Amino acid sequence: MCRSIKTLRRADAPASDDEIRAAALQFVRKVSGYRAPSRRNAEAFETAVEEVADASRRLLDALAAATR
């Protein structure tokens, strides 16, 4: 679906917050069909980006903890 989103789980270094947010932004753009939402939809769009980024961080942290 989002082929341009790079894998963020790496053995050499944890993903940065900027990398996670960029991946979340790409995902929400793909799902919503908006590159940039209208003013009317901007709040919902940004909320979705933050929620996806938060979920992604929790996933990466849990995966890292499970592999230790």
Least confident segment among 6-10, 37-41, 44-48, 57-61: 6-10
Residue 12, domain member (yes or no) = no
Q: What is the pLDDT of residues 15-54, one digit of tens each?
A: 999 999 999 999 999 999 999 999 999 999 999 999 999 9
- Residue 34 CA to residue 9 CA, distance in Å, equals 27
Residue 54, domain member (yes or no) = yes
Show the domain range for 64: 39-68
Residue 27, domain member (yes or no) = no
Residue 34, domain member (yes or no) = no
Contact 13, 41 (CB under 8 A): no
Under DSSP, is residue 57 helix (H, G, I), strand (E, B) or coil?
helix
The count of domains in the chain is 1
Residue 58, domain member (yes or no) = yes
